[in-house]
Amino acid sequence: MLTITNVTWLNLLCLTGVGVYLVKQVVIKKNPKPYPPGPRGWPLIGNVLDMPRIKPWLTFTEWGQKYGDITHIEVLGRHIIVLNSVKTTMEMLDSKSTLYSDRPVLPMGGELVGWKDSLPFLPYGDRFRRYRRNFHRVIGSRAAVDVYNETEEVETRRFLKRVLAKPDQLQEHVRHTAGAVILRISHGYEVKESNDPFIDLANRAITNVSEATAPGAFMVDILPFLAKVPAWFPGAGFKRLAREWRETLEEMVSAPHKFVKDQMADGVAPMSFTSNLMEGCDMSAEEDYAVKWSAFSLYSGGSDTTVSAIYSLFLAMTLFPDVQKKAQAEIDAVVGPDRLPTFADRDSLPYIDALVKEVLRWNVVTPTGFPHCVTEDDIHDGYYIPKGSLVIPNVWFMLNNPRTYANPSQFNPERFLAKDGKEPEMEPRTVCFGFGRRICPGIHLADASIWISTVMSLAVFDISKVVENGVEITPEVEFLPGTVSHPKAFKCSIKRRSATAVGLIEQDANY
C-alpha cells in the first residue's frame, strides 16, 4: 500500500517530477485579495508535510485556534480551506451553495475504486440533482420516513433478541441490524439471521471506502498522476488494492438491484426505495443506472454512520450511568413496563430525544465531513478563495467548541433541554448531517434509526462496566480515524432489566 507515510524513492521521484511541472506552470498572477491565514508552506510542495494523516480534525482545531475560523494551506498547487466555525461554514456552504456544492475528484476512492457514481461523491450537476429527487420522493420528509416505522421497529426488536442471546457480540449485532434496516428499506430485502451475503458484501464495501477516502491515506490523492502507474510498478500496491475494492463495490451495487428487478418481474416485490422508483416505469438504461446507484447511496450513506452512532450510545451508557437512569425513568413513566416503546411515543419522551442529540454531538460520526469544492473564485471575509479549492468543514470542533457547548467532553443530554429559563445549546443536527445542497438526504431516516434503537435498548437493558477478576473495567474513550469515525472496540455488561423485559424481547418480532 502506497501511503503518504512511506517516504520511498518512488515518492521522492514523484515529488521531484511534480516540482518540475509546477516550475514550468508558474504564471505570475496577482490575487485580488490575500489567501486566508495558515501554516507557512515550502517552495513547490507547499504544505504537503503539514497535511495531517491521523485524526486530522485535531490538527485542524489547532490551526483554527492559531489562525482563526478560516485556514488556508496549499498542497502541490491545490488550495485547501479548513472551516472551524458554524457561522463561517453556514455563510459559505449554505448561503453561497451555488459556489460551494461541488465535490473534488478523489483519485483513490472515487476513480480507482469506483465510488464516483454514488451520491456523496458525485459532482454537482444533472445526475446529482436526479439522485436527490429520488431521495426526496421516497424519504425526503419525516412523514415519508414514517412509512418505514414498522420496518425499523421489527428489526430493532430482532436486535434486542440478538443482544440478549449474545451480549458480548454487540458490535456485530449493531452492524447486522443497521444493514438489515437499510436493505429492507432500499431493496425490500430481508437479511438472513447470520452469514447474509449482502450484509457481508456491504460491510466490506463500506470498510473499504472509509479507508480509501481517509485524508492523507494514499499518495495518489496528493499526486493524481500516480493513477497512471502500472500495478506491477514497485510501490504501486494501491492499484491492486483498488482493483479488489472495486470488484466488491460493483457486486454490492448490482446484486441487490437485480434482486428487486427479479422480484418485480415475478410480481412479489415488497415496497422499497427501489421498487417505488421503478414501479410502472419503462426505464431507460440511464434511468435504471440512476435508480441503482441512488439505492446504493442510501445504503452506503446510512448504514455505517448509524453503526457508529448506536455503538457510541452503548459506550456512553457504560460510562455515564446517571444519564442511563434518567432515560430509563422517563421511559418507565411514559411507556410503562407492559410494552416496548414505539415511534408513537417519541413526542412524549423529550429526555430520550435530547440523549440522541448528545450521542450525535459526543461522537462526531464524520469529524471532517465530506470536502466541498469551489466552482468559481470567491471573496469571503476579505479572503480570496480560488476556484477548485477543497473546503473541509471541521465538524468535530464545531460540536466540541467550549464556547458553544459547556464542558464538551462531558456527556450531558440536559444541555439540549430548556431549563430554569436557560436556552438549550446548539442543535447538533444543524452541522453533523452536512451543509447546503450537500446535506445528507437520509437525515430523517438516520435520525429515526438511532432514536428507536436508543429507546428500545434502554427500555429492556441495563448497560454497565464489565467486572473482570473483581476489577471494574472502564472503557477507553477513543474514536478511530477514518471518513466515518467509530469508537474503539470496548467491553460492556448488558443485562436484562427484569423478567418482564425478557418477555417483551422474546415476543415475536414479526408482530
Binding residues for heme are 440
Nearest to 438 by CA among 48, 100, 40: 100
- Residues with Cβ within 8 Å of 13's Cβ and at least 6 positions away in sequence, in order, are none
The position carrying cell 450511568 is 321
CA 388 – CA 391 distance, rounded (Å): 9
CA 100 – CA 211 distance, rounded (Å): 25
Please state, as a whole number, how many other Cβ atoms lie within 10 Å of the Cβ of residue 298: 28
Phi, psi dihedrals of residue 32, rounded to the nearest 5°: -65, -30
CA 485 – CA 311 distance, rounded (Å): 11
CA 4 – CA 347 distance, rounded (Å): 49
Alpha helix segments (H runs only) across 30-125:
56-67, 86-89
Nearest to 191 by CA among 146, 152, 149, 155: 155
| SS3 (DSSP) at 314 | helix
The secondary element (H helix, E strand) that includes residue 127 is: helix 126-139
The burial class, CB within 10 Å (0-12 / 13-18 / 19+), for 174 is: buried
CA 232 – CA 234 distance, rounded (Å): 6
Binding residues: 440
- Whether the Cβ atoms of residue 334 and residue 406 lie closer than 8 Å to each other: no
Enter the C-alpha cell of residue 128. Answer: 446529482
Nearest to 204 by CA among 241, 144, 245, 259: 245
CA distances from 302 to 179, 194, 330, 403 (A): 9, 21, 28, 30
Buried b (16+ CB within 10 A) or exposed e, 63-101: bbeebbbbbbbbbbebbbbbbbbbebbbbbbeebbebbb
CA 504 – CA 437 distance, rounded (Å): 42
